[in-house]
């Protein structure tokens, strides 16, 4: 099965599950759920239906396709897939506040319209809704044993996400960040959720522990490639495609992989003066277009973009090796595996 066919088959089911989970239960709560629905791309600021960017729904697709590839019934994975997407969107609501990001998917972020207090509350509501949605697995026909395993994996990841976000924010106040620290952070903040998506998909197919581990490692490696690609876009991406200002990560003083790698290179070359200049420029970057330009030149001189692109390719190869290991299991669904592999490959070289 091709990826396009998988998207055509499963995305409407995922969207239906998401809309059911975030439906307004009472008119008095129209604003509360309306903010969630706006964030999900279903409504405008007046809470009227609109076709706005919704995101690619990558995580739920990985979950459903992993379930199919591991020989399970994709319908069994739908509640978990929706829960994972809701959890992801909860994190985005809070991230936009914590990062002071005014845009999300080409539109004003929720906090810029309705304020920070309401956005925090709406994010908390989505966090709770994610758990309630995971609770629908039993009604989808999933045995209690597998429901419990999936719930435990989901809970672990909730904590891991907040650990990663803590590190990400703490890096902003530190003058220097080590390369291994940064890679650990993005594994917790981004890669863990993709790894959980494929892990839960395989769990719900009742795959063996070795196969579940292979799917988890596949998803985690894809997540690492995805985040590093995002780091590339955060500095060199085109605003037309990303929906965010160019060089936005520099303006926000985010210490992403290009900067962390460049700092490591300057240390390795024994250039403390150049490192001090880079850090001084970076501190000024939020308000100084000239500083942003100079930072970009230093990153280019260090080969930061090339290094990051090489890292994306390496993690992608690692992901495919784990998927090949999972493919050796009895009962593997070839069509699901093909679509899952194609989905992973589609993340390399993306523009948004």
Does residue 273 sit within a domain? no
As a residue count, the chain comes to: 352
The Cα diameter of the chain in Å comes to 64
Give the pLDDT confidence of 108-165 residue by residue, as tens digits.
Answer: 999 999 999 999 999 999 999 999 999 999 999 999 999 999 999 999 999 999 999 9
* Domain CATH for 91: 1.10.600.10
> How far apart (Å, rounded) are the C-alpha atoms in residues 276 and 281?
9
Question: Using one digit for the tens of pLDDT, what is the confidence trace for 191-211?
Answer: 999 999 999 999 999 999 999
Q: Under a CB-based contact definition with an 8 Å cutoff, are residues 93 and 125 in contact?
A: no
HSE-up of residue 200 (Cα within 13 Å, Cβ side): 35
| Structural domain range at position 152 | 3-226+315-346
pLDDT in tens, 7-50: 999 999 999 999 999 999 999 999 999 999 999 999 999 999 99
* pLDDT single digits (tens) 67-121: 999 999 999 999 999 999 999 999 999 999 998 889 999 899 999 999 999 999 9
Q: Is 294 within the bounds of a domain?
A: no
Residue 67 resides in a domain: yes
Residue 287 lies in a domain: no
**Number of folded domains in the chain?**
1
Q: Count Cα neighbours of 263 within 13 Å in the Cβ-side half-sphere.
A: 20
CB 294 within 8 A of CB 279: no
Unique residue bearing structure tokens 């929706």: 82
pLDDT value at 259 more than 60? yes
Q: What are the residues facing 107 on neighbouring strands? A: 104
Domain annotation covers residue 236: no
At residue 281, the 3 state secondary structure works out as: helix
Does residue 259 sit within a domain?
no
pLDDT digits (tens, 9 = 90+) for 263-296: 999 999 999 998 999 988 887 777 788 889 999 9
Parallel/antiparallel/unpaired status of strands 107-108 and 103-104:
antiparallel
Phi–psi pair at 103, nearest 5 degrees: -120, 145
Amino acid 70: pLDDT: 98
Which helix (H) or strand (E) covers residue 107, if one does?
strand 107-108
In a domain, 116, yes or no: yes
In a domain, 291, yes or no: no
């Amino acid at each position: 099965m091709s990826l396009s066919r998988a998207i055509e088959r499963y995305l409407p089911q995922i969207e239906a599950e998401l809309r059911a989970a975030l439906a307004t239960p009472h008119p008095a709560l129209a604003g509360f759920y309306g903010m969630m629905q706006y964030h999900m791309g279903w409504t405008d600021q007046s809470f009227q239906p609109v076709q706005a960017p919704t995101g690619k729904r990558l995580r739920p697709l990985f979950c459903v396709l992993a379930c199919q590839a591991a020989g399970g019934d994709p319908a069994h994975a739908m509640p978990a897939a929706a829960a994972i997407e809701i959890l992801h969107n909860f994190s985005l609501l809070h991230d936009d506040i914590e990062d002071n990001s005014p845009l999300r998917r080409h539109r004003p972020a929720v906090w810029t319209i309705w304020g920070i207090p309401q956005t925090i509350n709406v994010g908390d509501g989505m966090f709770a809704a994610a758990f309630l949605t995971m609770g629908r697995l039993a009604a989808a026909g999933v045995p209690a044993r597998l429901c419990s395993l999936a719930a435990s994996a989901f809970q672990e990841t909730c904590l891991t996400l907040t650990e990663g976000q803590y590190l990400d924010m703490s890096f902003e106040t530190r003058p220097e960040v080590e390369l291994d620290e940064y890679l650990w952070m993005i594994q917790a903040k981004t890669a863990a959720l993709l790894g959980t998506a494929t892990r839960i998909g395989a769990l719900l197919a009742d795959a063996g522990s070795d196969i579940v581990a292979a799917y988890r490692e596949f998803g985690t490696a894809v997540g690492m490639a995805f985040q590093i690609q995002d780091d590339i876009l955060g500095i060199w991406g085109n605003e037309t495609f990303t929906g965010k200002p160019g060089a936005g990560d520099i303006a926000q003083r985010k210490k992403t992989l290009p900067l962390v790698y460049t700092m490591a290179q300057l240390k390795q070359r024994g250039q403390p003066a150049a490192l001090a200049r880079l850090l001084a420029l970076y501190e000024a970057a939020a308000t100084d277009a000239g500083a942003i330009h100079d930072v970009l030149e230093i990153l280019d001189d260090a080969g930061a973009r090339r290094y990051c692109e090489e890292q994306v390719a390496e993690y992608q190869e690692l992901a495919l090796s784990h998927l090949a290991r999972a493919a050796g299991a009895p009962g593997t669904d070839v069509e699901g595996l093909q679509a899952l592999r194609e989905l992973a490959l589609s993340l390399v070289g993306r523009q948004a």
